[in-house]
Structure 1
Amino acid sequence: MYQPNGEAQQKSAPQGAAAPYPNGNNHQNLNGNNNGINTTIEPWSTGLCDCFKDPTNCLFTWCCPCVSFGQIAEVVDKGNPSCVVAGLTWYALGIFGCSCLYSCTYRTKLRAMYSLQEDPCADFLVHCCCMSCALCQEYRELKIRGVDPSIGWQANGDRWNRAAATTPPTANPGMTR
């Protein structure tokens, strides 16, 4: 699980909040040449059909997928659009049967943010065939990585700032005999 340390900063994070990105350990390097770019791929923390690992989220997503999607979209896009705008957009597109076109783009953004595998198939197909399972998996992934989609981007940033402010600095050992 991600532990904010105050080192990794993100431009759009609220008030200099530490970004919830993976720490780089235990990743498979694709080409052996990073050049400062993260080229590692890692698996999702939970499977697509592991919805009942978080039964509350599963039930909530099944009953109100537009709200669950809005929470995910707000965090993935760092507060813009808001949960309400993203959820209403998803709902409006759903009237025409096109919500999967919108929601699959956020799965792609989430995968890029954490260098996750495109698994079990293309993001569009996952959202087209298993929308509720995909939303549950994305929500769980964010929670496992230390982001709580239910409180929004700003509140997560405030939480990371508090954690960074209360974490004492570590001193490197000096010269030893």
Structure 2
Amino acid sequence: MTTEMEVKGGASAEGVEEESLLMEGVAVLDFDMLCSTVAMQAHKGKWGKVSDDNEEENLVSQYQNGGGVFRLWEGEIIYDCFDDQRVALQSTCCPCYRFGKNMKRAGFGSCFLQGSIHFILAVAALCNMLAFIFTRRRCFLYLAIVFTVSVGTYIGFYRTLIRKRFNIKGSDSSFDDCVYHLICPCCALCQESRTLEMNNVQDGIWNGRGDTICIGIGTASTKSPECLGMQKDTNDS
């Protein structure tokens, strides 16, 4: 009996040691933290590995404290606007509703109020343009231009607020945000909607996707049994 117990004890000790060795090569990164690292590297204009241990620890500390996290827009503003067909259809057919939904998610007022302001400005621009077509009076053309610029400026202003509130990297110019909504307003609305919905933003709070990614590094600060299973499967194969 004693010999059998010693054999079992030795086998269990070997299993624990093997598990600890496997866990040392695996780390779990939150998806938002990974995007933050990518955004910072892109913002610096260079790509590289975070090799300095102090720099990595500072990045993790900033992320856990809720500060210093940089994020990215979900997809390109034009090429990826049809990734979510529901959002693309709403942004094209009823942009005032889509804009109101975005403002409610980002915490910038109610959906009805923001959607109504967008609707009034857009209708005023359209009515003045139609009036100019039928009457050929330049005053209506000037009013149509003024209201059109007002719509782009108003929505672009809130795009800037979204970008600053959630530390979204991209264009750091408020002028560019307004230009996006003047040239391709539907595509800009799609990009904002995708970013807010895919990252589960509710009432101005960025909840994130909640995804985790397993990577192999020298020392792991975060452990995950699921990642260990993946590592074992890889070694077995």
TM band (smaller chain): 0.5 to 0.7
State the match for 1:101 in structure 2. 153
Deviations 1:65-123 (A, max 9, x none): 000001111221x2x52101101111122222221111112211211122112349711
* Preserved CA contact (<8 Å) 1:66 1:87: yes
Match for residue 58 of structure 1 among 83, 88, 104: 88
**C-alpha distance 125-39 of structure 1, shift in aligned 2 (>3 A):** farther
| C-alpha distance in structure 2 between counterparts of 1:104 and 1:48, whole Å | 14
CA contact (8 A) 2:156 2:178 kept: yes
CA contact (8 A) 1:65 1:132 kept: yes
Greater mean deviation of Cα atoms: 139-148 or 36-45: 36-45
* Contact map agreement 1:91 1:99 (CA 8 A) in 2: no
Structure 1 equivalent of residue 167 of structure 2:
115
| Alpha-carbon distance in structure 2 between the residues aligned to 1:37 and 1:147 | 15
Query: 1:133-152 to 2 correspondence within 5 Å?
Result: 133-147=187-201
Shift of 1:132: 0.5
**Stretches of structure 2 lacking an aligned partner (at least 5 in a row):** 1-30, 45-54, 125-146, 208-237
In the TM superposition, residue 23 of structure 1 has moved relative to its aligned partner by 4.4
Q: CA deviation at 1:63?
A: 0.4
Match for 2:181 among 103, 106, 127?
A: 127
Q: CA deviation at 1:64?
A: 0.2
Which deviations, in whole Å up to 9, do the C-alpha atoms of 1:34-75 show, x marking residues without a partner? 997844543322110111100111011100000000111122
The one of 107, 117, 121 equivalent to 1:89 is 117
Q: Tell me the distance in 2 between the aligned counterparts of 1:37 and 1:144.
A: 19
- Normalised by the size of structure 1, how large is the TM-score? 0.61
CA distance in 1, matches of 2:178, 2:88: 20
Structure 2 counterpart of 1:45 = 74
User: Deviations along 1:120-172, whole A, 9 cap, x unmatched?
Assistant: 97111111111100001000001110137xxxx4xx98xx8xxxxxxxxxxxx
Structure with the higher fraction of residues in strand conformation: 2
Unpaired runs of at least 5, structure 1: 1-21, 161-177
CA 1:109 to 1:73, structure 2 compared with 1: closer, same or farther past 3 Å? same
Which structure's residues are more often helix, by fraction?
A: 2
AA paired with 2:99?
F
Aligned residues: CA RMSD: 3.4
Q: Distance in 1 between matches of 2:200 and 2:169?
A: 19
User: Hey, what's the Cα distance between the residues in 1 that align with 2:165 and 2:67?
Assistant: 10
Percentage of matched positions with identical amino acids = 27
How many residues matched? Answer: 131
